[in-house]
Amino acid sequence: MLLKEKNNHRNHWWALIFCVALGIGLGIWHNHASRHGKADPLSAAVRTVTSPIIHILVATTDWMNREFGWIIQGPSLSRKYAALRLQNENLQAQIAQLQEDAIDAQRLKSELGFAMSPPLHKIPATILSMRPIPNFETMVISRGSRNGVKPDSVVVAPLGVVGHVFDVAPTTSSVILLTDPNSAIGAMVQRASSRAECICKGNGTPLLSIAYLGPNADIRIGDTMISSGLGGAQGVYPKGLVIGTVVSITNDPSTASRQILVKPAVDFDRLEEVYILP
Amino acid sequence: MKGAKSNLRLTLIVIILFFLHEAYASHLAIRGAQPNIALTGLLTCSLFTDATFAAWLGFMTGVLESAYLGMYVGSLIVTRSLAGWIIGAMEPHVFRDNVFIAVGVCFLGTFLTGMCFYLFAPQANTLLWVKVTLEESVFNCVISIPIYYFVKLAV
């Protein structure tokens, strides 16, 4: 009896050693594949096999929300509808004005001999999993290398930048969000009298912080920040994508610098669909 | 044979909870705090099996979670395997028929797993990491109650 217990005890240790050793081996394999810009075959296989089930779960929930959500949201729906109708009318007027401005800008650009930037090709994708591990600001989307997604492809939503792809499997991709501490984007103020350039960095909170801004740069609360197309840790974002709005500027007397916070234009908790710029 | 059947059920429960975690955990978020249903499933299931099988459950959870995170693969697998193994090794010594044991195990297990992960893969903001891990631990405590009764019923 004692011998059996002793053997069991030894087996438990061997199981742990085996799992830990295999885990370390798989980690090294993953890092090696990532360094060469490839997907780790095991992770890619696991995601390819499991993602259809998660896709079905997400699609079923979306369908139930669409079909039966009114039962819960009933009283607030008419108020929402009236507000959206008003907003739609205002936006229609703005679109007409902007279309006129775009035509003028295009004409002036061609007269001055500027190169015209081609329209961006977008791949739509649904979100399979938001923050798979709560400590990291990442998400998994339903498009992968088979759809033309590559590492560092930019991910946007209608309201602005979401993040960029960092791991691609055949049918899914992992995206690092702007709010993750490992994320940074070259930014500039979208105001004709400023155009100050800086870096917008994630810090794990819902707000982004600004770094590398000149001491005399003109930046105000309410300014819209757009991607500058330059710098950033990744340097992958094209120019002109909306990042967010400056919501706080505080002076730090000890370092004579300013702490500036930006609220992302995209509400990451309400994202349903995104677009990839391959 | 009974042991094999119950281990198969535990494996299925962990896989199902992983799917639920990936699809719905972000919908349960309150003020940015989010549970880890897959980890709670692992910690609860480990109470009902021995250390060897719990280590395997942890390994499997680590592989599944790391496939979706896309980074820190080794750290995730090792921390989950360790968590499962330690709780599995405790199994003969704890009174698992009390739901509060499962709640306590989930709180401590989540927090220590998070801290252990931090040791393997240090992050830029330590305070933020501790805060998020604590929030996750509290959330996991709450969801461990229904998961505990589900596992108990299934096994």
- In 3D space, the residue among A136, A135, A172 whose CA is nearest the CA of residue A155 turns out to be A172
Instruction: Test A54 with B51 for CB contact under 8 angstroms.
Output: no
Query: ipTM of the assembly?
Result: 0.89
Tell me the CA distances in angstroms from A100 to A97, A107, B29, B32, B138, one per residue in order.
5, 11, 43, 42, 55
Q: Which residue of chain B comes nearest to A139, CA vs CA?
A: B69
Q: What span, in angstroms and rounded, lies between the C-alpha atoms of B112 and A217?
A: 45
Provide the pLDDT for residue A254.
74
For residue B2, name the pLDDT band (cuts at 50, 70, 90).
low
pLDDT digits 0-9 by tens, B80-94:
999 999 999 887 777
Q: Determine which of A16, A50, A51, A126 to mutate to test the interface with B (most B C-beta atoms within 10 Å).
A: A16
Q: Which residue has the tokens 């061609």?
A: A110
Residues of chain A in contact with residue B77, where contact means CB-CB under 8 angstroms, are: 19, 22-23, 26-27
* Best to test chain A binding among B69, B118, B119 (most A CBs inside 10 Å): B69
Q: pLDDT by residue for chain A (278 residues), tens digit each?
A: 556 666 777 777 888 999 999 999 999 999 998 888 777 889 889 999 999 999 999 999 888 888 887 777 777 777 888 889 889 888 988 888 888 888 888 888 888 877 666 667 889 999 999 888 888 899 999 999 899 898 889 999 988 899 999 889 889 999 999 999 888 899 999 888 888 888 999 988 889 999 888 888 888 899 889 998 876 445 578 888 899 999 999 887 777 778 899 999 998 888 888 999 87
Write out pLDDT tens, residues B56-110.
Answer: 999 999 999 999 998 899 999 999 999 999 999 887 777 778 899 999 999 999 9
pTM here?
0.86
Closest Cβ–Cβ partner in A8, A128, A167 for B70 = A167
DSSP states along A125-157: EEEEEE-SSTTS-EEEES--GGGT--TT-EEEE
Domains of chain B listed by start with CATH number: 4-154 (1.10.1760.20)
Residue position matching structure tokens 């600004």: A210
Q: Could you say which of A15, A19, A140 has the minimum Cβ distance to residue B68?
A: A140
Question: How many Cβ pairs within 8 Å bridge chains A and B?
Answer: 156
Beta carbons of A136 and B69 less than 8 Å apart: yes
Task: Give me the domains of chain A, ranges plus CATH numbers.
Answer: 113-278 (2.40.10.350)
b (16+ CB within 10 A) / e for B122-140? ebeeeeebebbbebbbebb
Q: Are B17 and B41 in contact (CB under 8 A)?
A: yes
**What are the structure tokens assigned to B81, written together?**
């395997």
